[in-house]
Structure 1
Amino acid sequence: MRSIRAAAVGAVTMSIALAATACGGGSSTGGGSNDSPKTLTYWASNQGASIAIDKKVLQPELDKFKKQTGITVKLEVVPWSDLLNRILTATTSGQGPDVLNIGNTWSASLQATGAFLPWSTANFAKIGGKDRFVDSALGSTGAAGKDPAAVPLYSMAYALYYNKQIFADAGIAQPPATWAELVADGKKIEAKGKQVLGAEGANVSENIHHTFVFAKQHGADFFTADGKADFTNDGVVTAVKQYVDLMAKDKVIPVGNAEYAQNQSVSDFAKGKTAMLMWQSASANLKSQGMSDSAYGIAPIPVQSGTPGTGAQVNSMVAGINLAVFKNTDNLDGSTKFVKFMTSDAEQKILNTAYSSIPPVKAAQEDTAFNTPANSVLKNTLATSAAALPQVADESQFETAVGTAVKNLFADAAAGRAITTASVKAELEKAQQQMPAK
């Protein structure tokens, strides 16, 4: 296939070693093995409540694309637990798709492999121009000063979803704005026999997203200005401990959630088992599981004090999904047409409505369909109180290493082992030792 940098090889080795769900050689079609200009292989990320729901959302649109272009798109929806390892393996094996979804936080790491088509001005012109996309989404498409490694597809932000009936039964008039308020509300909710806050302790991606936000709220960063991993500074240690302490000390996250993986906390919330949920653009997911829009409210994720805003009042990472093309595709023209189709105004409205996400395409975002109360919270968060995860070459390794450290700490908390500053720092030190040497 192509040559890649040693750091990327380290990322493959480390990710496979850390993730038990690592897969083998990717798709048997697509990438270098696509022998027909009338077929494409597409790896979609699992955006809905299940893979079956994603197929139901996407297949009609892929059929529409075939009708317009004559190109058949072979779809595979890949769970988040597998996606990064599948992608990293494909960058070295040569067995991958033509087009794929990537978490926007991985953009700079995947860009560093050299495996993906750079979105130069000329390539952007083929899909209608770079200026069609909002700036916040473009900010998570690769390292600064380089052509983006991917194109924004879905924009999302975290919010606090709360069960209106459970809140009313507990005598809580409004959602918590600070963590102290959330813990205090938790005591009232538990007194009514309900669980407080859903989390997914075994979900590495969710772990890193939340601990990143806690770190920003403590004025901390995971990397130094020159790009070196700095996971054990006081601010990061305090932030990670505060998050895990929601289970270990504050008792608002159920201990059983230490073993939860993707979508399990959403399911509990949809069934009325938990009072609150921190999730990315969850409305469509909840609706697919039978929860009425009127049954829950949406508020910003709590901060340390005051209200969400700039600086230490960050309450979400800039969440989103980008669309990338493997540079070695044998169907570059068809792949470019597919990216143009998926990011067209019409498709952006359809797909982002289906997933309750925000279109990163300006014209689609301005559509009245995205002016709902839920979307107003998400759009305001993206505009005023969200921060992008580090766009550095080692970002995917960082997510895996620190997310796994938090997973281990949740397991300790669930087992009744003490969560101390020293134990948190020790886990983060182990994570830092797994990062490529600088």
Structure 2
Amino acid sequence: MQRIRALASSAVVVSLLAAATACGGGSSSEGSNESPKTLTYWASNQGPNIEADKKILQPELAKFEKQTGIKVKLEVVPWSDLLTRILTATTSGEGPDVLNIGNTWSSSLQATGALLPWDQKNFDKVGGKDRFVESALGSTGAQGKDPAAVPLYSMAYALYYNKAMFKEAGITEPPKTWDELTADGAKISKGGKWGLGAEGSNLSNNIHQVFVLAKQHGGDFFTADGKADFTNDAAVAAVKQYVDMMATNKIIAPGNAEYAKNQSLSDFSKGKTAMVLWQAAATTFKSQGMKDDEWGVAPVPVQSGAPGAGKATNSMVAGINLAVFKNTKNIDGSLKFVKFMTSDAEQKLLCKTYGSIPPVKAAQSDPAFDRPELKVLRETLATSATALPQVSNESQFETSVGTAVKNLFAQAANGKKLSTADVKAELTKAQQQMASQ
């Protein structure tokens, strides 16, 4: 996120709080039989598939071992399983030393006390906090507290479009507003082809889209003091607008209601869908046989006007953070590994490979990050992206509201034209679910 995540149950924070003290790193969990010169690392699935990630990361881990004498045991964990695996680790004590987390989870996991706090002393061991871009640090935990993780990969959403499908439909430029996107999608959605792809059963992806739309409608899913408010007019309008692209506008295929594992990217790569909203997708397109000159990229549409500072949010601040389990018995090795992964050289190499933006300032000077696609992502991060709320129950928000959107997509796929009341009813259920925890 592919780095898009399907979250585990809404009881995540309660479960983690109950078990945080049981959490131990992979090296410590095996006791004296495990060498202190070994680390366990859970990497998230960033590339086209898990095997691709292993091929990308193993040479870098070998480089780290040569430099430090510390061997890293790698496991690439699918996003659909990652949060559940973290929960299991906290109860069993058999977790990794270092792991990737979605940056939106940072505040929720921070509240458990299971992760190492990144105070000045720890930041100094990886070169200092000021090496990192401020916007990336803004999604590492609750404001006013030491971060629970360190930024590893930064991303934003963009609109990817199929140039040939646009040309065939007589569309000369990518849409700048949602009305334009809907009109363009209607021209394309015929004969088994569709205007826009979606991952209707992917809870986190659902949240990312409706959060942005709520901002564009002038609201949010939380009040200023961090209380859940899922049924306000802006939140309801946002969810209805997104689901209506299938239910009313009919530019998203009904089958997309069941997508949760990047199938919309596959459809895009095969010319079945003309547009997709995604984070840093170039690597995936290439792996599926799509040439770089066959697709274009543009900022995500807004309600009206243009995205930019003070105008309209058109992406959440996306990214991956690197965290350390606080109870690991290989803390020195873990900090050395974080320093290695966030070094200028590794940031340039890994972010080039994955098509992401380095959250390390010095690494962004590489000309590779001036590619047209990445320029759009960098501009979005700099001017029109907003961090998801850094609240302790953010994970439950992704689960409850993400599920509400999933349920609404399922109804739309079955031919139901959704009313505002239908949308509000689902969001009311989500609000009640949050309140009961």
SS of 2:329's equivalent? coil
AA matched with 2:172: A
Q: How does 1:340-355 map to 2 (within 5 A)?
A: 340-355=339-354
1:323 aligns with 2:322: yes
- 1:314 is matched with which residue? 313
List alignment gaps of at least 5 residues for structure 2.
1-8, 17-21
- 1:123 is matched with which residue? 122
SS of 2:116's equivalent? coil
Q: Is the 8 A contact 1:170 1:188 kept in 2?
A: yes
Aligned counterparts of 2:105 and 2:435: Cα–Cα separation in 1: 16
1:106 aligns with 2:94: no
Shifted more, 156-165 versus 77-86: the winner is: 77-86
- 1:5 is matched with which residue? none
Q: Is the 8 A contact 1:200 1:257 kept in 2?
A: yes
Aligned counterparts of 2:231 and 2:397: Cα–Cα separation in 1: 13
What is the Cα deviation at residue 263 of structure 1? 1.3
SS of 2:237's equivalent? helix
SS of 1:435's equivalent? helix
What is the Cα deviation at residue 12 of structure 1? 5.2
Shifted more, 57-66 versus 353-362: the winner is: 57-66
AA matched with 1:292: K
AA matched with 1:341: F
- 2:304 is matched with which residue? 305
List alignment gaps of at least 5 residues for structure 1.
1-7, 16-24
What is the Cα deviation at residue 314 of structure 1? 0.6
Q: Is the 8 A contact 2:27 2:36 kept in 1?
A: no
- 1:287 is matched with which residue? 286
Shifted more, 326-335 versus 306-315: the winner is: 306-315
- 2:12 is matched with which residue? 11
Aligned counterparts of 1:239 and 1:124: Cα–Cα separation in 2: 38
- 2:19 is matched with which residue? none
SS of 2:404's equivalent? helix
Shifted more, 137-146 versus 421-430: the winner is: 421-430
SS of 1:213's equivalent? helix
1:72 aligns with 2:71: yes
SS of 1:40's equivalent? strand
Q: Is the 8 A contact 1:128 1:340 kept in 2?
A: yes
- Name the CA shift for 1:210/1:84 in 2 (closer, same or farther; >3 Å): same
Aligned counterparts of 2:216 and 2:88: Cα–Cα separation in 1: 35
What is the Cα deviation at residue 366 of structure 1? 1.4
What is the Cα deviation at residue 56 of structure 1? 1.2
AA matched with 2:85: R
SS of 1:241's equivalent? helix
Shifted more, 316-325 versus 71-80: the winner is: 71-80
Q: How does 1:30-69 map to 2 (within 5 A)?
A: 30=27, 32-33=29-30, 35-69=34-68
What is the Cα deviation at residue 230 of structure 1? 0.6
What is the Cα deviation at residue 187 of structure 1? 2.0
Q: How does 1:192-271 map to 2 (within 5 A)?
A: 194-271=193-270
AA matched with 1:143: A
SS of 1:59's equivalent? helix
AA matched with 1:299: A
Q: Deviations over 1:101-130 (max 9, x none)?
A: 000011111000000001111100101011
- Name the CA shift for 1:12/1:393 in 2 (closer, same or farther; >3 Å): closer
- Name the CA shift for 1:28/1:113 in 2 (closer, same or farther; >3 Å): closer
- 2:6 is matched with which residue? none
AA matched with 2:12: A
What is the Cα deviation at residue 98 of structure 1? 0.4
SS of 2:434's equivalent? coil
- 2:144 is matched with which residue? 145
Q: Is the 8 A contact 1:216 1:312 kept in 2?
A: no
Aligned counterparts of 1:248 and 1:332: Cα–Cα separation in 2: 51
Q: Is the 8 A contact 1:26 1:87 kept in 2?
A: no
Q: Is the 8 A contact 1:99 1:324 kept in 2?
A: yes
Aligned counterparts of 2:28 and 2:297: Cα–Cα separation in 1: 41
**What is the TM-score normalised by the length of structure 1?**
0.93
AA matched with 1:33: E
- Name the CA shift for 1:91/1:204 in 2 (closer, same or farther; >3 Å): same
Q: RMSD in angstroms over aligned alpha carbons?
A: 2.0
What is the Cα deviation at residue 338 of structure 1? 0.4
Aligned counterparts of 2:316 and 2:277: Cα–Cα separation in 1: 12
Q: Is the 8 A contact 2:153 2:351 kept in 1?
A: yes
Aligned counterparts of 2:146 and 2:195: Cα–Cα separation in 1: 44
What is the Cα deviation at residue 167 of structure 1? 0.6
SS of 2:359's equivalent? coil
SS of 1:431's equivalent? helix
Aligned counterparts of 2:298 and 2:274: Cα–Cα separation in 1: 13
Q: Deviations over 1:378-406 (max 9, x none)?
A: 00000001000000100111111111111
- Name the CA shift for 1:28/1:132 in 2 (closer, same or farther; >3 Å): closer
- Name the CA shift for 1:107/1:406 in 2 (closer, same or farther; >3 Å): same
- Name the CA shift for 1:120/1:13 in 2 (closer, same or farther; >3 Å): closer
Identity %: 71
Q: Is the 8 A contact 2:108 2:392 kept in 1?
A: yes
